[in-house]
A and B are shown apart, each in its own frame.
Chain A
Amino acid sequence: METTTGKVKYVFSAIFVLISHLAMLTNMFYNGNCDPSNMNKFVILAITVIGLDILYFIAMLFFKQSTYTIDFMLIFILNISLIFQSSFGGISLSVKHLVTCIASLISCRLGFILCRNHKWIQAKKKAFYIATGIIMLCILTLTGSRSMWIDLGFFTIQPSEFLKPAFILVCTTYILEQQNKISVWKFNIVPENLICTGFIILICGLQWWCRDLGSLPTFVAIYLCGLCARLCYPKAKLSKKMIITGIASLAVLAITAIILAPPYVKSRLFVDIWNDTSGDGYQQSQALIAIANGGWFGKGAGNGDLHNIFAYETDLVFASICEEWGLFFAIMVVCAILIMLASPLVNPPRSYFHATLATGVCSAFVVQMALNIFGSCNMIPFTGVTVPFISQGGSSMVTCGFMMGMLIAGQSPVFKNPTNNKKKKVKSK
């Protein structure tokens, strides 16, 4: 926060974030299920939300960054999600979601610190290949077709979520790496692109084996966006042949995947939810009824009925928000997330590495949101993917925070050579 004008705009941002949370709490107080018996719970929630806002604003002062808007957007969205999660089925602070929100903010800082110096991180590319390999090995050995979670006693983790930021880092590249080509038969191939393609094939196989097909489109989107960023740099023209070949191969892959899909996936693809409201179409039909019941401004916080349905706070979170807060607020939150993701378009990254990083992060978030929201609205089959920052779930929140840290790193990069401490010590001796 260097200049006076800079400080003023951030003071305004902080004030408006606080005011918007206060407005939501006021709305909850008057329109929600806030009886005198619930007053203590409401006061605790209000103090927590405002306290988290203020604490994060103070914490931001300790991090020297070029831009802070994504930070403000992040706390804006996280506290809105905390208010939503604390209202489902009755007003009471969702301690689990509060803890995961704090974990998400911490992992955001870690992501920022890790990725801000692209020269350093480029030198560590092999370490990311190894890390991705280890996560894949964990998925293969510790989870599987029976369960996607690892039970650690007091909490469970979903390793496939951690694969997302690792794969985004694998998909990042820089121009010099793209110029390093080897000649195979008649083609000039970039080895780094081959490795990236190898990883996506392995991930697809792994997700298929684990029957975690819901997150498969997210990985494919990250890979395709990474590939496009490589092909299109800088402003390269794609020939019609290339575009047609790409679309045709994607269509062939999609058709093959549908033919080879397990029976339970096929049944979900072609299910008529209104003819099977107690079977495969149960969750989606209930979600649609809840969205319709909510209308534009909802039934009021804590007055919904969707909390009786399984996964109301994770997979059905969009429908839960629509029911209690209304379609208008649900769409606004989605727009807020999209605005946060669009900030690299306004303030573009100055390095190719950060540009590919931002592309990966944005594609992952957009596809995840689309899968959840369209799934809730019965436009596509139900996938069980979370809405970033809004759905409950520790692994998802932590990885989303980390990915947002990557995006912030692209906005506040460091253009310095990594310091070599060993050399310094030798020189001092």
Chain B
Amino acid sequence: METGNLILCVITAMILDISALVLILSTYFEKLDGKKRWKKIGNDMELVEPGITYALESDEVLIGRHGSVDIRLPDLSVSRYHAIMTVCNGIWTIQALNPKAPILVNGQRISKTKLKEYDVIQIGTYKLQIRKRRRQNGNNNR
């Protein structure tokens, strides 16, 4: 291959590399936008226990005692897979996964219900409140 042709090949390859890099960067910027979008979809809510804040960062949030759940409440009063929270049309819903393990929302036993801001969810001995996300003020975030 002649030198000129070789240089052209190298330049083409470099342009392809740069294009791929631009597309990777674009994915990264989309990730930043995605976080803002999720706040909108999830209505920017979080679960709060005194001293601890749990972010609601996906469509399905599993709550229980098992080490593999999203929100772990390590107490024998909590079932291994106790409840699941889902979001739809910006509204969070909580559903019991085990009929033997109750969930109380504002003191009432439920199997599935829609949640409003400042509702208190009681799972075992834990009391969690759902509220709009606030600026971090030294609390532990999980």
> Which residues of A does B touch, CB under 8 Å?
2-3, 5-6, 9-10, 12-13, 16-17, 19-20, 23-24, 26-27, 30-31, 66-69, 72-73, 76, 118-119, 174-176, 179, 233-237, 297-298, 300, 326, 328-329, 332, 335-336, 339, 343, 346-347, 350-352, 411, 413, 415-417
Contacts and interface: CB of A to CB of B under 8 A. Distances in A.
State which size class the interface on B falls in.
Answer: 35 or more
A324 to B, nearest CB: 12
A20 B29 contact: no
A12 B22 contact: yes
B16 A23 contact: yes
A69 B24 CA distance: 8
Contacts of B57: 350
B27 A343 contact: yes
Given A5-B29, A416-B89, A336 B20 contact: yes
B60 A73 contact: no
7 contacts: A24-B16, A69-B26, A234-B69, A235-B68, A237-B67, A332-B20, A347-B31
A290 B4 CA distance: 23
Interface stretch (B7-15, B46-54, B117-125, B131-139): B7-15
Nearest to A347: B31
B7 to A, nearest CB: 10
Contact of A13 (B15, B23, B69): B23
Contacts of A20: 15-16, 18-19
B59 A9 contact: no
Given A179-B84, A235-B68, A352-B59, A16 B22 contact: yes
B24 A16 contact: no
Given A19-B15, A416-B89, A234 B30 contact: no
Contact of B68 (A13, A233, A329): A233
Nearest to B69: A234
Contacts of A72: 23, 26
B31 A234 contact: no
Given A24-B16, A347-B27, A30 B8 contact: yes
A31 B9 contact: yes
A329 B23 contact: no
B58 A351 contact: yes
A307 B20 CA distance: 29
A347 B11 CA distance: 31
Interface in B19-42: 19-20, 22-31, 33-34, 37-38, 41
Contact of A17 (B19, B25, B30): B19
Contacts of A343: 27
Contacts of A347: 27, 30-31, 34
Interface of B: 1, 4-6, 8-13, 15-20, 22-31, 33-34, 37-38, 41, 57-60, 62, 67-70, 81, 84, 87-90, 95, 97
Nearest to A28: B12
A237 B60 contact: no
A235 B29 CA distance: 27
Contacts of B81: 179
A76 B84 contact: no
Given A17-B19, A23-B16, A30-B8, 18 more contacts: A9-B29, A12-B22, A23-B11, A26-B8, A31-B8, A175-B60, A176-B84, A236-B67, A237-B67, A297-B9, A297-B13, A298-B9, A329-B13, A339-B20, A351-B58, A352-B60, A413-B59, A415-B87
The 4 closest A-B pairs by CB, nearest first: A351-B59, A236-B68, A297-B9, A20-B19
Nearest to A13: B26
Given A76-B23, A179-B84, A27 B30 contact: no
Contacts of A179: 81, 84, 97
B88 A416 contact: yes
Most buried by A among B9, B37, B70, B88: B9
A234 B70 contact: yes
A328 B10 CA distance: 10
Contacts of A31: 1, 5, 8-9
A120 to B, nearest CB: 11
Max chain A Cβ within 10 angstroms of own Cβ: one of B6, B18, B59: B59
